[in-house]
Structure 1
Amino acid sequence: MSNVSVFTRRDPFAEFDSLVRSAFSPTQGSAARLDFTPAVETVRDGDDVVVRLELPGIDVSNDVSVEVTGGRLVVKGERRDQRTEEDGENSRRISEIRYGSFERTFGLPGHVTADAISASYDAGILSVRVAGVFAGTEPTRIEITQG
């Protein structure tokens, strides 16, 4: 006789790993060329997930949007080059700073709605909190009574 259970046990760490992996996968169906990809850190904080994106030098109120669409969290925007070109024969610029459009997409569990998401920006870091991602994922032990 096999030892197969009809109940499946949800592994919250596997779900978290899947969420983190989806953060680093390319956007499906996106043919647009993006100019840079901001660095991302994804951490579990209790029942929540916090996604932090490095966005220094960006006007987040005008140039960044955080949206929920089709079961996905989408952060997109643009880093604009605010410097003006100096006219002159001898002027040169060497820059390792990337400017232009970006988009990062993260898969969300089915029970998460836009109401569970909040975003804040401080010191060049955009923090997006997704509340309740892991709520109810801890196993609950059921007492066995003897008849």
Structure 2
Amino acid sequence: MSLTPRHDLRRTVPDLLEWVEDLPNTFAWPGPPGLRPFRLEEHQDDDAYVIRAELPGMDPEKDISIDITGDRLTINAERTDRREESDRSEFRYGRLHRSAVLPKGADATKATARYVAGILEITVPIAETPPESHTVPVTRG
């Protein structure tokens, strides 16, 4: 007979880890109440800014919208609860929202988005920007 309730501990640890992971968002998330964040990856190379969002189980044509206003890209998504009654669910339902600031030179008119295997990937081309300053040579005469 074991005195350690391993079964319950295995169920509790993921809940605890998720709670700790979400704690900063609980108190510091900017935006209207009721909107929850989701995970993002961002990277920029010479010619594009790419943002990837974890949005599994969504219909991209119905549940996801992307808006770019000025230098701010905003992803809105909504996951409705389609499940039958169950004893436990770790899925998140409701409205989800994240924003990111686009880099200088981003061309929002040429942005593209694709949704594959639960990952939304948005690519925003970056136009070549002239250098901020340059040196003007001085000649005699």
TM-score tier by shorter-chain length is 0.5 to 0.7
Percentage identity across paired residues of the two chains: 33
Q: CA deviation at 1:55?
A: 0.6
Q: Which of 79, 99, 115 matches 1:121?
A: 115
Separation in structure 2 between the aligned mates of residue 31 and residue 66 of structure 1, nearest angstrom: 17
Q: CA deviation at 1:98?
A: 1.1
Matches within 5 A, 1:64-103: 64-85=64-85, 92-103=86-97
Q: TM-score, normalised by structure 2?
A: 0.66
Three-state SS of the structure 2 residue aligned to 1:31 is: coil
**Cα-to-partner distance string for 1:51-96 (whole Å, 9 max, x where unaligned):** 00001111111011011124311110111221122xxxxxx42122
Q: Which residue of 2 aligns with 1:54?
A: 54
Three-state SS of the structure 2 residue aligned to 1:33 is: coil
Change (3 A) 1:69 1:141: closer
Separation in structure 2 between the aligned mates of residue 70 and residue 142 of structure 1, nearest angstrom: 31
Task: Tell me the matched-pair count.
Answer: 114
Change (3 A) 1:79 1:132: same
Q: TM-score, normalised by structure 1?
A: 0.63
Give the helix-richer structure, 1 or 2: 2
Gaps (5+ residues) in structure 1? 1-23, 86-91
Separation in structure 1 between the aligned mates of residue 51 and residue 126 of structure 2, nearest angstrom: 14
CA contact (8 A) 2:107 2:125 kept: no
CA contact (8 A) 1:116 1:132 kept: no
1:42 and 2:42 aligned: yes
Change (3 A) 1:69 1:26: farther
Instruction: Choose between structure 1 and 2 for higher RCO, CA contacts under 8 A separated by at least 6 residues.
Output: 1
Q: Which of 95, 102, 108 matches 1:108?
A: 102
Three-state SS of the structure 1 residue aligned to 2:67 is: strand
